[in-house]
Amino acid sequence: MEDINKQYTILIADDEQEVLALYRIKLKQAGFNIITASNGREAIEMAKMHLPSLILLDMKMPEVDGITALHSLKESEDTKKIAVVFVTAFSDINVTDINHEFAEDKGALGYIKKGISLDEFVREVESYIKKI
């Protein structure tokens, strides 16, 4: 799978630097090309600059949250077709009702909950890659 993954670039947007680093390292080990952003505004800029295959977008970030960033990405001709998956924490009381229907209603492919093992995280990402 690692060789297949080399053809995909993933943008990870998360304001938690430790989380960002762990996801970046693990997905690089799985063979993906990785770029990162630490807030929603930066994610929009990086998406326009690099046109990644997939964006992993934290829902709760400073400056521009994930939902607002997704809305901006979908409004732009350059980025509207980029696949987006929300990433959210178990403890975020603002998104306790998130499910695939919610994510899809917002224009995302789905979501991944933070707190799962890194190996499971990679499997989730790979399952979304297969859908694009």
9-53 pLDDT, tens per residue? 999 999 999 999 999 999 999 999 999 999 999 999 999 999 999
Q: Return d(Cα 53, Cα 102) in angstroms, integer.
A: 22
Q: Summarize pLDDT for 80-113 with one digit per residue, the tens.
A: 999 999 998 755 545 445 666 677 778 889 989 8
What pLDDT sits at residue 105? 77
Q: Summarize pLDDT for 60-70 with one digit per residue, the tens.
A: 888 898 999 99
What pLDDT sits at residue 47? 98
Tokens 């960033």 map to which residue? 69
Closest CA to 87 of 32, 35, 42, 23: 23
Mind listing the domains of the chain with CATH numbers?
Answer: 2-129 (3.40.50.2300)
Residues in the chain: 132
Q: Return d(Cα 13, Cα 50) in angstroms, integer.
A: 13
Residue 1 DSSP SS3: coil
What pLDDT sits at residue 103? 75
N- to C-terminal Cα separation, the chain: 16
Q: Return d(Cα 118, Cα 7) in angstroms, integer.
A: 21
Give this prediction's pTM.
Answer: 0.90
